[in-house]
Amino acid sequence: MGSNTASYAGSRRGASGLDELLVRAVSDSGAHIGALYLLDEDGQVLRMNTAMGFPAAIAKAWARVRLTVPMPVAAAARERRLVWTADQEDLARQFPGAALALPYNFAVATAPIVCGESARGTLLLVSPASNAPGPEPRLLGLMERTCRDMADLLEQADRLGRPVRPRPRPRILAPYRSRQDDPAVSPEAAMAALECLNGLPEGYCALDVDGRVTFLSAPASGLLDTTAAAMLGKRPWEVLPWLADPPHEDSYRSAILGHQVTFFTAERPDGQWLAFQLFPAPSGLSVRITPSTMARDPGHVLPDPVVGRQVGGAALYDMLQLAASLSQAATVQDVIDLVADQVMPVFDVKGLAILTAEGGRLRVAATRGYSPASVAEMRRRTPCAPHAPELPIITGEPAFFANERELLDAYPDAGRYGGMSAWALLPLLSSGGPIGTLVLAYGRPHRFTQDERTTLTTLAGLMAQALERARLYDAKHRLAQTLQSSLLPRALPVIPGLEVAARYLPATQGIDIGGDFYDLIHLGDGQAAAVIGDVQGHDTTAAALMGQVRTAIHAHATSGASAGEVLTHTNRLLIDLAPNRFTSCLYISLDLRDHTACVASAGHLPPLLRRPGATTEVVESTPGLLLGIDPAADYPTSELYVPPGSVLALYTDGLIEAPGVDLGDAIDGLAGQLTRHGQLPLARLADRLIDPAESVGHRSDDIAVLLLSPVHLSP
């Protein structure tokens, strides 16, 4: 009992010690926000254990971060390195998703907490935006010491047998106040300060980090037309509906997260406009409220040093919509089309181009808004990459040119393609390095605001991630198609006395590799065999197995085995090769001299037969088990008369299956198609059967069709 009690106390000391180290790191670094993340037991998710200075709603949204996502805290733990972003634009360049979710200007420093060879968590510090390319040596040393001390506490708790686990919900610590910097204030002094504030014409209000009112002066109550009792402990926009406007709350978040002064104006119900200035304070915000005599525009910005955010709600909505759309883009062309369709009208962009580096030269990969002549000129004048080291594709830094003169100062050989007058050159950076440059061109000179630069940099980051996924998708799709086609017959053999036509149609969605297959085997002396089947699964294993099944059937067929024996031998081989994979298969041997066929089925769909001048019939047979289930399975055969001019149709389920459609009805529907169009030449008939306009199924799976038509065999 005593040992367990000591272990529990050690664990408690470890957790509280981590909290104390976080408080000290925030205080000593000058950061206004800090958080400690710990990896969960599975080592896949970082959970916020303790936070300080974070609004509760934001802390809740970022309480869980998967180790694989492109976020600063995840990158620090995953790569075991310190991650630094100096400001919002730097964050947008490195982590566009994070910049889009938190579009505020601040610096981020996050470092891994390493125990032995593994990261156990990360320390996150948020400070006012900086121009420094990296953290100051003092901050770097402080974070290294803090992370080392945190690792020591975690290892000590491990040795005691009571490892520190992340809390179910983050503990939010109160802002730290030093006794030396904030000595106790006597009641008399506090009353004097209150009387001083109440004697001023403007109003003053204090908000905590969650936006709740902690103090309201008498003039502020009068200006807001409310009372302190109604406001204390509540957020202003919850009490006063005329303050419930997203840009006003955005100003509060910008002041809290960016630790910068923000400003907005709002109109009271009686028509009086008020100006609000939000000043960061150690425990939240101090708000100055004055009657406004300026332009009645809630977006009006005071001169520096007051910072007014000008990110329009509509533009932010469009960016969020674009981000959601890009996550679904499957191909490179999808990405280009989405960006062109949504970005160009929102930002009033006249032209768009994507440059990529291939073979040591910049290539114009795609354009929108340029005439063919302009595109040709652009391609002619695009420089070789080694001679243009200042391009964003090389430096990784965005470049903005408000007019032609600024562009020519940087690139003397540049041309004004399509009459453009302002440009944004944005690097497209993927996890593997730079992949290109996004060029946005404007029809008139355009001065880029800081917020616009950040938004466009975020856009380029999102687009680069989408392009990387799309290029991988395209490559996998080409590989899948190549593998699939290589495993199917390149050409069917020419067999005297038999006309054939085959079609294979891969599924229209995804990059899965299908297991559908078909084959035609010439057995000599008026003998032939046809086979069609479907291997379970849609992956490389299914494709490889399909190739092995085709090879086995071909080998047994050419050795003289009967139809039933071919399936029996192949079934036993399949159980040895892949005991957990099943295959449907239909095998038909044809005697082209006496016009008969022998049919054996391993759970496959029945073939269809249209004899000359007759309706199509479903060939009834006794199917055996799917291949790969029972090594002792038996495959009975049935005889069939197939006169010259008949059409025998073999197919896979992708041709007919559809949700809610009975399988028997679907087969009858295909038989009706064969009756209506059976007089067509075999190749045209095959095209008609797979034509989506006459489709029986809904085409969500691969389709294989093999048509056979015996003709009179010459003596």
Q: Phi then psi for 364, rounded to 5 degrees?
A: -80, 105
pLDDT in tens, 452-475: 888 888 888 888 888 877 777 666
pLDDT in tens, 597-615: 999 999 999 999 999 989 9
Which of 318, 325, 335 lies closest to 436, judged by CA? 335
* pLDDT, average across residues 404-413: 82
The structure tokens listed for 369 are 């808004």
Q: Which amino acid makes up residue 226? A: T
At 299 the pLDDT is 42
At 368 the pLDDT is 85
Q: Alpha-carbon distance 681 to 679, whole Å? A: 7
Sheet with strand 399-401: strands edge to edge? 361-368, 351-358, 433-442, 422-430, 399-401
| Percent of the chain predicted with pLDDT > 70 | 81
3-state secondary structure of 240: coil
Q: How far apart are the first and last CA of the chain?
A: 99
**From the centroid of its chain, how far is CA 93?**
17
Q: Alpha-carbon distance 382 to 200, whole Å? A: 64
Q: Which residue, chain included where needed, has tokens 């938190």? A: 102
List the single range of 105-109, 168-172, 312-316, 403-407 with lowest mean pLDDT. 312-316
pLDDT in tens, 489-508: 778 899 999 999 999 887 64
The structure tokens listed for 524 are 């000599």
Q: Given the DSSP bridges, would you call strands 45-52 and 171-173 parallel, antiparallel or unpaired?
A: parallel
Q: Is the pTM of this model over 0.85?
A: no
At 196 the pLDDT is 80
Q: Are the beta carbons of 136 and 91 closer than 8 angstroms?
A: no
Q: Alpha-carbon distance 353 to 335, whole Å? A: 13
Using only the alpha carbons of the chain, give its radius of gyration: 36
Query: Own/partner pairs for 274-283, CB < 8 Å, 24+ apart?
Result: 274/223, 274/224, 276/248, 276/251, 277/302, 277/306, 278/251, 278/252, 279/255, 280/32, 280/255, 280/256, 281/206, 282/175, 282/176, 282/177, 282/182, 283/174, 283/175, 283/177, 283/208, 283/209, 283/214
At 599 the pLDDT is 96
Cite the DSSP H helix spans in 47-186.
Answer: 56-61, 72-79, 88-94, 96-101, 137-159
At 38 the pLDDT is 96
- In the Cβ-directed half-sphere of 271, how many Cα atoms lie within 13 Å? 0
pLDDT in tens, 19-48: 999 999 999 999 999 999 999 988 889 999
* Domains present along the chain, CATH in parentheses: 2-173 (3.30.450.40), 191-301 (3.30.450.20), 314-479 (3.30.450.40), 488-710 (3.60.40.10)
At 454 the pLDDT is 82
480 pLDDT band, cuts 50/70/90, is low
358 or 383, higher pLDDT? 358
Give the Å distances, CA to CA, from 706 to 297, 520, 533, 580, 685: 71, 9, 11, 28, 11
The structure tokens listed for 8 are 């529990």
* pLDDT, average across residues 571-578: 83
